[in-house]
Amino acid sequence: MSALADPQAVATLPKKQSRFWKKMRANPAALLGGALVLFFVAVAALAPVLPIADPIATDWGAVRQAPSAAHLFGTDEIGRDVLSRMVWGAQASLLAGVVSVAIAVCLGVPLGVMAGYMGGWTDAAISRVTEALLAAPFLILAIALAAFLGPSLTNAMIAIGLSAMPIFIRLSRAQTMVVMTEDYVESARAVGLKPLALVSRYILPNIFPPILVQATLTIATAIIAEASLSFLGLGQQPPTPSWGSMLNVAKNFLEQAPWMALYPGAGIFLVVLGFNLLGDGLRDALDPRDH
Amino acid sequence: MLAFIGRRILIAIPTIILISIFVFTLQHLLPGDPILVLAGEERDPEVLEFLREKYRLNDPIPIQYLAWVGNALQGDLGISFRTNQPVLELIGEKLPVTLQLATMALIIAMVIGIPAGVLSAYKKGTWIDWVANVVALSGLSVPNFWLGIMMILLVSVKLGWLPASGYQPFAEDPLQSIKTMLMPAFVLGTAIAATLMRHTRSAMLSVLKSDYIRTARAKGLAEHVVLIKHALRNALVPIVTVTTLIFGELLAGAVLTEQIFTIPGFGKLVVDAVFNRDYAVVQGIVLCTGVAFIFMNLLADVAYRVLNPRMGDK
Amino acid sequence: MLKPRHIALALAFGLAATAVQAQDMRIGLQEDPDVLDPDQSRTFVGRIVYASMCDKLVDITPGLEIIPQLATGWEWSDDGLTLTMTLREGVTFHDGTAFNAEAVAANIDRSQNLPESRRKSELSSITGVEVVDEYAISFSLDAPDATLLAQFADRSGMMLSPTAFGEAGIDFGLKPVCSGPFSFVERIQQDRIVLERFDDYWNADAINVDSVTFLPIPDTTVRLANLRAGDLNMLERLAATDVASVQGDDGLTMEQAVSLGYQGITINVGNGAGADNPLGQDARIRQALSLAIDRNVINQVVFEGAFAPGNQPFPPTSPWYNDAYPVPERDVEAARALLAEAGFADGINITVQVANNPVQQQMMQVVQAMASEAGINIELQAKEFATLLADQSAGEYQASQVGWSGRVDPDGNIHQFMTTGGGINDSGYSNPEVDRLLNEARTSTDTEVRVASYNAARDILIEDLPIIYLYHVTWIWALDDAVQGFVPYPDGMIRLEGVTINE
């Protein structure tokens, strides 16, 4: 990070860092969150090597079977192993969360910094568009976008990313404006530092912590949004599993095969809880005002 | 204050125009021909062409948009392709439904969120704080639609305590109306209880540190009096502000809950309209929720200023 | 002060009072109907509502015979170009307007000439309408039309009050006025449609409930939960997977009838550039796909055996079904041989579009797994229904999983799909011989001639396979056991004549 070249930053960072870790360690909720996230990331990453059944292998003789030794989480509507689909579905859910937030950050932060840095008409234009996007309900916007792009996991991620973008525009704009009023930024401007250098040296490092916190929390929202779109048939398409699309099918078999709905729902719940707890802990730990 | 409100309304106008342009363009870009959906199983080319002309679908999108704006300014939001019902009438029909759902959800959220926030601020750093936090975040983390179907399975199918779906107008049968709406409102309320709890907690934390609380305690007042009468009352400013904002989001956010519980409100209407390519309905609803959202934001700002006079005009 | 005996008496009276209280029949529907104007209407579910609200010129029996309703009798001229109908006397519309030949003429005129009318093609053979006297009317046709009476048994034959549509015009659907057993009270979109008993109905004695409320509840589990909880008296389209649980419930009964429609895979053989691929050009590959599929397994796995496997546009129960071609057994070897013959011994990749609804996707995943065993690798392309329809009509697809709700007359299931330039011929299939045979079947009133024509067309179509038929839906109704006298019909309608709710 270019910020490390700045003497002032170098001087403060280690101290900040140690305080950060101390606060994180003292926060059991955040640790629980981190553990949950790590667990699911590991499961998703190890999916190809775990000793589980093929997630798309069908078995007409074993349709909607209750959990047993052969199928720990039971089987689904065409005889596939639910445990295996859960594991592979974790990939889709995590990917959906991370990629859509990456899209939102990569588009939103530059726009927000631009608005905050340049002010004037640029700011007014970007702010109005942001407000308009915020005023259109998140899920309705995502549904319309996903319908427009066609139902698939990739398109669902794009739709969610675009819908989540305004939060990051707004946040980075506000942060940039705060940083811009700092004395050291004003003096750097006075000595003629180029805008790009100014942004990368002072603004980005300073707006990084709140963006990180927001991103973690938005991943949680994005995972639920992907599940919601899949639940409406607009996300991951069969036979590839995702937790949302598993639930979409499972709702037709609630009485006959409740396990089909139980596990994917619990999976979403735990991973989202993980990100929420982690994000919350990060916020406390990175908060300069020490409560 | 009036100047402030006036300026905010002026700023809101371009925002609303932008929303309407977004939605208009987006849905006209959607793949799928509304006229084919409208034709259903019968497809007479002559009739299809007539309908295309009638709904101006052959015109360029900007012309269609201007025509829509022209009518909207005269209070005509068009008719639903699907049922021929005027959109404005539809909105009038659905608004009370979603309003009731949002109100009940908000009440449930306040009943859970505010006491939990007060408690966790009071017991800051203890295991009570920790548990309250995890429970609140759990409410935020559980997917609404999953909680919804699980509750239907348990409460309606297995136990038969509450109706699984539908809507009973409050004016016709208040008790049945509340019973029918209880489960969906709970599902929706759990999600926002977390937000409310966290705002309450942080507002309470800063109030609890203030001098007058110390004074109140020094006077030997009972702890619950200090907590409720002095601290909570002063913490209410940000809580009210947040609640107003949440309510705006709720009106638009009930989409999936209404879908699960088959509640004939805004959310169900708009999702079905997107899938049926019922352009005028989508357009009308998004305009309404957009205006409601902006209005609630404005209200929150005004409330903040009224309750907190120290904040002058910026 | 009331003595206990008095209280008991009061209670007894109270009970008696509830017994004679207005009986409301609450029916759960799978979808919310579209506009309630039979001339503009286009959905299956809308027809279920009309069955209680709008009488037709004629009706059908469960065996699909045409029987009188508003027309008490009819007669064809020898050349088959004139149909004369005698009308029921003493019938009034819900608004008090009298039903007579003038009213019928006005209705036919509206169905044919209202620009928004979706009934035009159904009545296209009628060239003239003549009011013979107050209760007799005759229709002149440009060519004999075997399908006309069946059209009169559906939306084209529904009689609306001329006074009402004269006033409301195209907004008739907001407050429909017909002459059926129940009249319209109110509709709240996506919530309910309420009808009340029409006391002046000509067959009022057969109607035993005071009102009907239709409640659209799309989720099958929720619909059934409502029935169990007593919030519904009956529901239509019970999910096949819920059959066992309803059968095991003492408080519920079930009725079923194999539908008139079909579900299958439509293949693009000549609709634009989308047909430019081996699947569209070589019938052997389509035959291989058909052979690779085990229709019985689909029925068992996806529909728990409740539906009817099929291979023709009409279900095996239909009198029009051709027994010379029974539902084929799965034959993977034969499928592989056909593929090899067509030059794809190493397998072939095809794309099939399917609506993004869980049941159709489940079914197609089963097909996908079966086809892959024969070397046909199916890529499933999920689309929203609106998109699927548009792409199919524009020819932007290779193969598409779709179905048809079915019509009383066989012509409705085949003519517009298989004739060159037919209204719903999305496959782009064109064969002059098939055109000739299907037109012949349409214009003959002789059943034997019609059967022969359909069979001859089937000989060709079963080789060419522009549509691979897979199964026929069974309509399943679940009812509270207090509901008695319900008769299932293969058209999926709910007729409330003779239906009672026992308290």
Question: Could you tell me which residue, A31 or B304, shows the higher pLDDT?
Answer: A31
Looking at the complex, does the CB of residue B27 fall below 8 Å from at least one CB of chain A? Answer: yes
DSSP state of B280: H
Looking at the complex, does the CB of residue B284 fall below 8 Å from at least one CB of chain C? Answer: no
Question: Could you tell me which residue, C373 or B228, shows the higher pLDDT?
Answer: C373
Positive or negative torsion for Cα A203, A205, A210, A211: positive
Closest to C166 (Cα-Cα) out of C89, C106, C99: C106
Q: Report chain C residues whose CB lies below 8 A from the CB of B39.
A: 42, 118
Q: How far apart are CA A43 and CA A274, in angstroms?
A: 14
**pLDDT score at C293:** 97
For the cut 80, the answer to whether the pLDDT of residue A83 exceeds it is yes
Q: Give helix B233-253 / helix B266-276 axis angle, nearest 10°.
A: 30
Structure confidence by residue, pLDDT tens digits, A162-181: 989 999 999 999 889 888 88
Q: How far apart are CA C299 and CA C307, in angstroms?
A: 6
Q: Report chain A residues whose CB lies below 8 A from the CB of C297.
A: 60
Structure confidence by residue, pLDDT tens digits, C321-343: 999 999 999 999 999 999 999 99
Q: Alpha helices, DSSP H only, in C20-147?
A: 44-53, 101-113
Looking at the complex, does the CB of residue C262 fall below 8 Å from at least one CB of chain B? Answer: no
Residues above pLDDT 70, as percent of chain A: 93
CB contact under 8 A, B19 and A135: yes
Over residues C423-434, the mean pLDDT reads 94
What are the structure tokens assigned to C355, written together?
């609506």
Q: Report chain C residues whose CB lies below 8 A from the CB of B41.
A: 42, 404-405, 424
The structural domains of chain A, ordered by start, are: 81-286 (1.10.3720.10)
* Pairs of residues, one from chain B and one from chain C, whose beta carbons lie less than 8 Å apart: 133
Looking at the complex, does the CB of residue B264 fall below 8 Å from at least one CB of chain C? Answer: yes
CB contact under 8 A, A150 and C221: no
How would residue C53 be classed by pLDDT, with cut points 50, 70 and 90? Answer: very high
For the cut 60, the answer to whether the pLDDT of residue A103 exceeds it is yes
CB contact under 8 A, C358 and A60: no
Distance from CA of A134 to the nearest CA of C (A): 26
Over residues B57-73, the mean pLDDT reads 89
CB contact under 8 A, A237 and C359: no
Q: How far apart are CA A205 and CA A4, in angstroms?
A: 9
Please name every residue paired with C268 in a beta bridge, in sequence order, or none if there are none. none
Looking at the complex, does the CB of residue B146 fall below 8 Å from at least one CB of chain A? Answer: yes
CA separation, residue A254 to residues A82, A103, A237, C224 (Å)? 15, 35, 21, 11
Over residues C205-225, the mean pLDDT reads 93
For the cut 90, the answer to whether the pLDDT of residue C382 exceeds it is no
Over residues A252-257, the mean pLDDT reads 86
For the cut 80, the answer to whether the pLDDT of residue C11 exceeds it is no
CB contact under 8 A, C389 and B163: no
For the cut 90, the answer to whether the pLDDT of residue C426 exceeds it is yes
- Neighbour-count burial for B118-149, b at 16+ CB within 10 Å, e otherwise: bbbbbeeeeeebbebbbbbbbbbbbbbbbbbb
Q: Report chain C residues whose CB lies below 8 A from the CB of A248.
A: 358
For the cut 70, the answer to whether the pLDDT of residue B309 exceeds it is no
For the cut 50, the answer to whether the pLDDT of residue C210 exceeds it is yes
Sort strands C58-60 and C66-68 into parallel, antiparallel or unpaired.
antiparallel
Average pLDDT, chain C: 92
CB contact under 8 A, B22 and A145: no
CB contact under 8 A, A254 and B149: yes
Longest dimension (CA), chain C: 97
Structure confidence by residue, pLDDT tens digits, A105-154: 999 999 999 999 988 899 999 988 888 888 777 777 788 888 878 888 99
Q: Per CB distance under 8 Å, which residues of A are interface residues toward B?
A: 28-29, 32, 128-129, 131-140, 143-145, 147-148, 150, 220, 224, 227-228, 231-232, 247, 251, 254-255, 258, 261-262, 264-265, 268-269, 272-273, 276-277, 280, 291
Distance from CA of C100 to the nearest CA of B (A): 29
How would residue C1 be classed by pLDDT, with cut points 50, 70 and 90? Answer: very low
Q: How far apart are CA B55 and CA A286, in angstroms?
A: 55
CB contact under 8 A, A252 and C241: yes
CB contact under 8 A, B140 and A276: yes
Sort strands C66-68 and C262-267 into parallel, antiparallel or unpaired.
unpaired
**pLDDT score at B285:** 86
Over residues B129-138, the mean pLDDT reads 86
Q: How far apart are CA C293 and CA C264, in angstroms?
A: 12
Question: Could you tell me which residue, C102 or A258, shows the higher pLDDT?
Answer: C102
For the cut 60, the answer to whether the pLDDT of residue C15 exceeds it is no
Over residues C128-135, the mean pLDDT reads 96
**pLDDT score at B310:** 52
Closest residue in C to A79 (Cα–Cα): C301
Name which of A32, A128, A258 is nearest B15 (Cβ-Cβ).
A128
Residues 59-98 of B with CB under 8 A from C: 80, 82-85, 90, 93
Range in A226-235, C129-138, C156-165 the model is least confident about: A226-235
Q: Report chain B residues whose CB lies below 8 A from the CB of C229.
A: 156, 160, 163-164
For the cut 70, the answer to whether the pLDDT of residue C7 exceeds it is no
Positive or negative torsion for Cα A158, A162, A164, A168: positive
**pLDDT score at B253:** 64
CB A242 within 8 A of CB C387: no
Name which of C115, C190, C385 is nearest B50 (Cβ-Cβ).
C115
| Contacts of A134 by beta carbon, 8 Å cutoff, 6+ apart | A166, A167, A170, B293
Q: Report chain C residues whose CB lies below 8 A from the CB of A238.
A: 361-362, 365, 380, 382
| Contacts of A205 by beta carbon, 8 Å cutoff, 6+ apart | A1, A2, A3, A6, A9
Average pLDDT, chain A: 85
Distance from CA of C440 to the nearest CA of A (A): 43
Structure confidence by residue, pLDDT tens digits, B247-282: 766 765 688 889 889 899 988 888 888 888 888 898
CB contact under 8 A, C226 and B165: yes
Closest residue in A to C243 (Cα–Cα): A256
How would residue A161 be classed by pLDDT, with cut points 50, 70 and 90? Answer: very high
User: What type of residue is B269?
Assistant: L
CA separation, residue B173 to residues A270, B16, C185, C429 (Å)? 39, 37, 19, 57
Range in B10-24, C98-112, C394-408 the model is least confident about: B10-24
For the cut 50, the answer to whether the pLDDT of residue C16 exceeds it is no
ipTM: 0.85
For the cut 90, the answer to whether the pLDDT of residue C235 exceeds it is yes
The structural domains of chain B, ordered by start, are: 94-265 (1.10.3720.10)
For the cut 50, the answer to whether the pLDDT of residue C298 exceeds it is yes
**pLDDT score at A9:** 35
Structure confidence by residue, pLDDT tens digits, A13-67: 445 677 788 888 888 888 999 999 999 999 999 999 888 888 888 888 888 888 9
Name which of B15, B138, B282 is nearest A135 (Cβ-Cβ).
B15
What's this model's pTM, rounded to 2 decimal places? 0.89
Sort strands C262-267 and C467-472 into parallel, antiparallel or unpaired.
antiparallel
Name which of B29, B31, B294 is nearest A135 (Cβ-Cβ).
B294
How would residue B3 be classed by pLDDT, with cut points 50, 70 and 90? Answer: confident
Residues above pLDDT 90, as percent of chain C: 84
Task: Return the C-alpha torsion angle C456, C460, C465, C468, nearest 10.
Answer: 20
Structure confidence by residue, pLDDT tens digits, A54-64: 888 888 888 88
DSSP string, C357-386: -HHHHHHHHHHHHHHHHTTEEEEEEEE-HH
Distance from CA of A94 to the nearest CA of B (A): 15
CB contact under 8 A, A291 and B19: no
Range in B286-295, C179-188, C424-433 the model is least confident about: B286-295
Peptide bond into A239 cis (omega under 30): yes
How would residue C69 be classed by pLDDT, with cut points 50, 70 and 90? Answer: very high
Name which of C245, C301, C383 is nearest A63 (Cβ-Cβ).
C301
Over residues C16-25, the mean pLDDT reads 67
Q: Which residue reads 């205006």 in tokens?
A: B291
CB B293 within 8 A of CB B18: no
For the cut 90, the answer to whether the pLDDT of residue B290 exceeds it is no
Q: Report chain C residues whose CB lies below 8 A from the CB of A252.
A: 220-221, 239, 241, 358-359
**pLDDT score at C2:** 44
Q: How far apart are CA A91 and CA A269, in angstroms?
A: 15
What are the structure tokens assigned to C96, written together?
């008090």
Distance from CA of A13 to the nearest CA of B (A): 26
